[in-house]
Amino acid sequence: MPAQLAVPPVTPAGPPPPAARTRPGRDVFIDLLRLFGIGMVVLEHWSIPVLSYAGGQVTTGNAFSAPGAFLITWITQVMPLVFFAGGAANAISHRSHAARGGGDARWLAGRVRRLAWPVLPLAVVWIPLPHLLLALGLAEQPVLVAARLAGQLLWFLAIYLVAVAATPWLLRLGERFGGRVPAALAVAAVLTDVIRFTGAEAAGYANVVFVWLAVHQLGFLYAKGRLAGFRLMAAGGFATAAALVAFGPYPGSMIGLPGAISNMAPPTVALLGVAFGQIGLAMLLRPRIVRLAARPRVARVAAWAGPRMMTVYLWHMSALFVVAGVAVVGFGLATPAPASAAWLAGWPLWLAALALVAWPLIRLFARHEEPPAAAGADPGALRVAAATGLAGAGLLTLTVTGFAPGVAPMLGAAAVLTGVALVTPMRRRASARASRTAAVAGLSAPAAQPSSQTYPANLPVGRSRR
Q: Is residue 465 domain-resident?
A: no
Residue 394 lies in a domain: yes
Report, as ranges of residue numbers, the positions in the chain whose pLDDT lies below 50. 1-22, 428-466
Q: What DSSP assignment string belongs to 203-249?
A: GGGGHHHHHHHHHHHHHHHHHTT----HHHHHHHHHHHHHHHHHHSS
Q: What is the DSSP letter of 50?
A: E
CA dist list (Å): 276 to 34, 44, 256, 282: 16, 21, 19, 10
The pLDDT of residue 296: 93
Q: Does residue 228 lie in a domain region?
A: yes
pLDDT, residue 427, reads 56
Q: Which amino acid, residue 117? A: W
> For residues 127 and 407, is the Cβ–Cβ distance under 8 A?
no
Question: Can you give the pLDDT at residue 156?
Answer: 95
Q: How many domains does the chain have?
A: 1
CA distance 364 to 121: 10
Tell me how far CA of residue 221 lies from CA of 4, 170, 177, 248, in angstroms: 10, 11, 11, 30
pLDDT at position 236, please? 96
Q: What is the pLDDT of residue 405?
A: 95
Q: 251: helix, coil or strand? A: coil
**pLDDT (0 to 100) of residue 377:** 62
Report d(CA 83, CA 41) in Å as an integer.
Answer: 13
Q: What domain range includes position 158?
A: 28-425
Task: State the CB neighbour count (10 A cutoff) for residue 293.
Answer: 21
Find all residues with CB under 8 Å of 229, minimum gap 6, and list them: 3, 280
Asked whether residue 214 is assigned to any structural domain, the reply reads yes
The whole-number pLDDT of residue 258 equals 77
Nearest to 321 by CA among 157, 125, 137, 117: 125
Instruction: Provide φ and ψ at 452, rounded to 5°.
Output: -85, 145
pLDDT at residue 45, rounded to an integer: 95
- What is the pLDDT, as a whole number, of residue 465? 43
pTM, two decimals, is: 0.86
Q: So what's the pLDDT on residue 437? A: 44
